Each structure stands twice: as structure tokens, then as C-alpha cells.
Amino acid sequence: MSDTSADTIAKDAGQKPDGILRGPLIDIDETADNDTATKDTSHKLQREMEHATEHEGGEEEQGFVRLYYPLPVDNVEDIEMYRPRGFHPTHINDILNGYKIIHKIGCGGYSTVWLAQDLEQHKYVVIKIITADASSEEKKDHGILEHVFEKGRGNPALNFIDKPIKTFHIDGPNGKHLCIISSLLGPSIAKLTSGGTPLDANEVRHYASQLTHCVDFLHSEEIGIVHGDLTTSNVLLEISSIDQWSIEQVYEILGEPSIVDLHDVSGEPNTSPSGPKYIVEPINIMELFVLRTRNIKLIDFGESFRVATPPEDGVGTPVQFCSPELFFHHTASKASDIWALGCTIFEMRIGMALVESGFGYDWEFLNQMTELFGPVPGSVHDVEDGQQGNSGEGWTLWHRVMQEEPSGDGGREDDNGERARLLPAHDNSSRDRRGAGYFARLKSWIWGFFSKWWTTAVEWIHHARRTTEERQDHQRQVAERRELKALYDLLSGTFKYDITERSTAFQMLFHPWLSVDGEL
């Protein structure tokens, strides 16, 4: 293991080693783009931590003691997970089984994710280091993917599913950790939408078609897998290879590693082998957006299960993507995947989540579903008097928002005023060819005529350009309305309370919205 210190990294970066080298701040939920399981909180170690922090001053009583001084940044992993059964302490330039750590990509609930270089093949890869506590459970994820790629060999949908390159285990001060090597990918759709990076409508339709093909493939009788965690965070953009870059070029484009020294709870530099000497802030994954190809990659099979054997304790789908039946403890199924697929496509195209919440309570999401789609059957939250009208077909907020014509006048008149005359008014005096002033008047008239003609012509050209732009803008608005109505038609089939009426991925593939060249 490397003993690279914060001071050494600071010198390499040409900065003063003041203990905190700040890089771009990235929300922790956004940095886990290549972390294939970022939301799991079922492990014993995390449960202990969460239970302990719920009781003020009760950490000692619960047998959980804080080890580290809080960091001044919040875009990194939970440092209290650096303890036995937790994270593996990792530093820049560490070499793990022939892979050299170059930079940090992100972190999740039970893993840290790093950019590394294969020293034998000189290729850049992603290495995900699982906590010791979760390493045995991660085998389920790997087993699902082995089944998918073995049974689906040759299916084009596999091009859109991320497959690990290899796995191995390492022994460290906190236990035995599973390491998963995979290809370097670009930002997630969630990262794009949260960062306000727009995607062209046709590009979104292209990606949505690939994602729907993936779901149809997984749901097929031959494969029989429910993904269980279809979200915009788990749909990443494939990027072109950066293997030709030197490490110096990687740092030039992605930035030098920004680090924060780790201190124990007393404020002294950490000396415990369970924790690293410093914490590395993640790269800005959006720097790789320009390298995107025309393909997506579906990741995170940590919640996946076989159709015939759904988990009794439910799945860990984020509530924004949960189908209504999951709120009432019904079994997850292919139908719940379809609801999540609809939410994902909606966010991909519109740029915002279908339902959001400030506090994450189930009733908040159920209330929003009621407002959008009408009362949820079997809901314990009755709709207030006077709101029942929203439950009728055509009167839900979903219908009004997606179907209503936009305000303003869509058909402006082409002419914004009376056009100037190109020819001068008839003037009998111009016919008077007698007198010395005739040629002067003729010259003045000719000059005036061409001057007026030129001015009028320029004005007419500008007017024509304006009307052309307005006409094109109007045509764009009409096309966008047509496209959004088609999207509404597609997604309305995914947002059915009755799972027997909900669309299948196979049915969705025949919808014209998912065919970029299709007529809308």
C-alpha cells in the first residue's frame, strides 16, 4: 500500500499543503454514477450507525463510538464507515492486484469507486471496492449478471448493459473486500438533469428506446429478471476510450486529486490503520460528457431478482420511482419495473422528476400521485372533499399538463403592418419636361425612388426573415406539442394503478415515440 500523504499530493499538484485542497463540490448522490449499488442500507454496520445517531449522546450506550473528526466537505463517503467490516482505506497511487489508483470517481452506501489503470494492459478501468460487511452479499449482483449474459448471449440488448470485466478480493485492516473491475462510463442521466444539461428530444428518444429494449430483454421468459432499481442514476452514458491519455493528461482534464486530511475525533492526524490518511474528493464526471457515444449503459443489479422468486422483504427502489403498490407492501414485479421505467423516461425528457419530496415520507409521494393520476385504490389517505373531480378521465393533473395547449397565440399573422409601396405615387408634374429644373427633378426622383426601394427592400428582407423565424418557431412548437402528446400517450400506459392494465416493455417498443424516425 502507498503511504502517499496529503503533503505529497499537494506538492504534486503545485499547491500549498494546507490540509484541505478543494475541488469541485459534487452532491454525494450525483457522484455515484459508476457505483452499481449506492442506496443499500440493509447491512448490519450501517444499521448500527443509523440507530446510534438517532439518539443524542447515545453512541457509547449503543456500542458505537465515533472515530473521526467531521470533514469540512460533504461530497465524500461516510468517514465513520472506515472501521472493521467497513470501507477499505485507499490512497492515490495504491496498487490493488495490478491496478493503480489514479483518482476517485464517487462513492455509495457501501462502496468507494475509483479510476484506476491496468498496469499490464495500460487501460483505464473503474474499480469498485465493496465494504467487507457487504462483500458476501454483492455476489448476488454478480450472479444475476452472469445469468443475464449467459442466457442472453448474442442479444443486442446486452450492448446496453454494463458487464464487469473481472472481480477479485483483497485483504485489508477492515476485512476482506470484493473488488469489481468495469469499464469507465460517463455521467448518469440523473447527473445531466440535475446539472441542467439539456439533451435533444431525439437523443432522449434514442436512449429511451435502448433502455426499453433492455427492460424487455430482462423481462423475457428466457431471462426472467426484474431489475428492481430502474432510475436515472442507474442509466449512464457510454463514452469513447481514454486509454490513449497519459496520467498527466487525465489530471489536466479531470483535475488533480483534491484531498482533505483525515483526523481522529481528538483532532489529531489519523494514525489508525482502519482509516486512510486523507479523503479524496470525486472528479467532476461531467467533464466526460463530450466523449459520449450513442449508447447508454444500464447498471446496478443489486436489487434484481428472478421473476419467479421475488424478495419477501421488498426491494430498495428509491421512492421517486416506486410504483403505488409498493407503498402498500405488495410484491415487486415486472409491473413495478414498468412504472419505474415510465418515471425514468419522463425525467430523461422533461428534465425533472415526476414526483418529488422534501422529507421522503410515503404519504408525500402518494399525495402527489393522487394529484397527478387520481386517488390511489386502497390508499389509506382519502381524497379531500372537492377533489374527487380530479379522478375522472381527462381531469387529472397528468392529463391537463401533458395534453393542454400552451398559452399564447400559436398562429400569429404573417404581416405585422402595412407594407411600404415599392413605386412612387403618380405625379403629373413629373411629366413636365419643360424648364431647366426637369433633369434635376428627374435625378432627385430617381435617387429618391431607389433610396426608398432599397430601404423598403431591406425592411422587407428583415420582415421576411422575422416571419420565417416565427414560422419556423411555430412549426417547432407544433412539432414539440405533437411529440409531447405522443410521450403522454406512451407514459399513460406505464402509469396505471392496475398492474394488469400497465403496459409491458414489449408493447412499449411498438410505440412511435420510441422510434426516432417514426411518425408522431
Q: Provide the number of structural domains found in the chain.
A: 2
The pLDDT of residue 351 is above 50: yes
Element at 149 (helix H, strand E): helix 138-151
Q: Is the per-residue pLDDT at 455 higher than 80?
A: no
Q: What pLDDT, on a 0 to 100 scale, did the predictor assign at position 21? A: 35
Is residue 219 a contact partner of residue 157, using CB atoms and an 8 Å limit? no
DSSP run (H or E) holding 113: strand 111-118
Quote the pLDDT of residue 136. Answer: 76
Residue 441: predicted pLDDT? 56
Q: Was 277 annotated as part of a binding site?
A: no
In a domain, 427, yes or no: yes
Position 25 scores a pLDDT of 30
Please give the pLDDT value at position 452: 57
Q: Which of 82-86, 281-285, 298-302, 474-478 has the lowest mean pLDDT?
A: 474-478
Residue 462 vs residues 449, 457, 468, 469, 472: alpha-carbon distances, Å = 20, 9, 10, 10, 15
What's the rounded mean pLDDT across residues 13-39? 37
For position 197, what pLDDT does the model report?
77
Instruction: Say if 394 falls within a structural domain.
Output: yes
Q: Over 80: is that where the pLDDT of 463 sits?
A: no
> What pLDDT is recorded for position 425?
41
Q: What is the pLDDT of residues 125-180, one digit of tens each?
A: 999 999 999 987 665 666 899 999 999 999 999 999 999 999 999 999 999 999 99
Q: Residue 25: CA atoms inside 13 Å, Cβ hemisphere, count? A: 3
pLDDT at 363: 82
Is there a single domain that holds both residue 276 and residue 351? no
pLDDT at 508 (0 to 100): 98
Instruction: Based on the fold, state whether residues 372 and 455 are members of the same structural domain.
Output: yes
Strand partners for 269:
263
Domain edge (last residue) among 229, 257, 291: 291
Per DSSP, the three-state class of 476 is helix
Q: Residues 352, 246: one domain?
A: no
Same structural domain, 473 and 423: yes
What confidence score (pLDDT) does residue 371 get? 85
Nearest residue to 506 via CA among 215, 157, 205, 160: 215
Which range has the worst mean pLDDT, 44-53, 258-267, 320-329, 385-394?
Answer: 385-394
In a domain, 302, yes or no: no
Residues 391 and 254 in one domain: no
Q: Are residues 178 and 321 in the same domain?
A: no
d(CA 391, CA 379): 14
Containing domain of residue 257, as a range?
Answer: 6-145+164-184+238-291
DSSP per-residue string spanning 164-233: -SEEEEEEETTEEEEEEEE-----BHHHHHHTT----HHHHHHHHHHHHHHHHHHHSTTT-EE-S---GG
pLDDT at 458 over 90: no
Query: What distance in Å separates the CA atoms of residue 114 and residue 124, rounded to the nearest whole number?
Result: 10
Strand 175-182 and strand 166-172: pairing? antiparallel
Question: What pLDDT sits at residue 304?
Answer: 94
Rounded CA separation 91/425 (Å): 86
Q: Is residue 390 a contact partner of residue 396, using CB atoms and an 8 Å limit?
A: yes
| H or E element that contains 96 | strand 95-96
Among 124, 180, 131, 127, residue whose Cα is nearest residue 301: 180
Please provide the DSSP assignment of 19-31 as one string: SB-------TTTT
Least reliable range by pLDDT among 19-23, 259-263, 281-285: 19-23
Question: What pLDDT is stored for residue 428 in this prediction?
Answer: 47
Q: Are residues 325 and 465 in the same domain?
A: yes
Please check whether residues 242 and 357 belong to one and the same domain.
Answer: no
Q: Do residues 272 and 317 share a domain?
A: no
Q: Give the HSE-up count for residue 225: Cα atoms under 13 Å, Cβ half-sphere.
A: 23
Tens digits of residue pLDDT in 362-374: 888 888 888 888 8
The domain spanning residue 405 has which CATH number? Answer: 1.10.510
d(CA 164, CA 153) in angstroms, rounded, equals 15
Q: What letter represents residue 324's amino acid?
A: P
Query: What average pLDDT score do residues 495-503 get?
Result: 94
Residue 410 — pLDDT band, cuts 50, 70, 90?
very low
pLDDT of residue 516 exceeding 70, the answer is no
Q: What is the DSSP string of 379-441?
A: -SSPPPTT-GGGGSTTTSHHHHHHHSPPSS-SS--S--SPPPPSSPPP-GGGG---STTHHHH
Lowest mean pLDDT among 38-47, 433-442, 452-461, 508-517: 38-47
Same domain membership, residue 316 and residue 260: no
Identify the pLDDT of residue 98.
97
For residues 85-109, average pLDDT:
96
The pLDDT assigned to 480 comes to 81
Domain membership of residue 511 (yes or no) is: yes
Show the cell assigned to 170: 483483497
Mean pLDDT value across residues 236-240 = 98
At 234, give phi and psi (nearest 5°).
Answer: -105, 15
Largest distance between two CA atoms of the chain = 118
Asked, for residue 213, whether it belongs to a domain, the answer is no
- Least confident stretch, 139-153, 191-205, 426-440, 456-470: 426-440
Distant-in-sequence, close-in-space partners of 197: CB < 8 Å, separation ≥ 6: 286, 289
32 in any annotated domain: yes
18 within a domain of the structure (yes/no) = yes
Residues 244 and 331 in one domain: no
Q: Could you tell me the CATH number of the domain that includes residue 243?
A: 3.30.200.20
Between 302 and 28, the higher pLDDT residue: 302
Span 461-485, average pLDDT: 72
234 by DSSP, 3-state: which? helix
Q: Say how far residue 78 (Cα) sits from the centre of its chain.
A: 22
Is residue 414, in this structure, part of any structural domain at all? yes
Rounded to the nearest integer, the mean pLDDT of the chain is 78
Residue 395 confidence (pLDDT): 41
- Phi, psi angles (nearest 5°) of residue 485: -65, -35
Buried b (16+ CB within 10 A) or exposed e, 319-355: bbbbbbbbbeebebbbbbbbbbbbbbbbbbbebebbb
Q: Is the pLDDT of residue 53 over 60?
A: no
Same-domain status, 248 and 336: no
| Percent of the residues in the chain that have a pLDDT greater than 90, as a whole number | 53
pTM of the predicted model as reported, rounded to 2 decimal places? 0.73
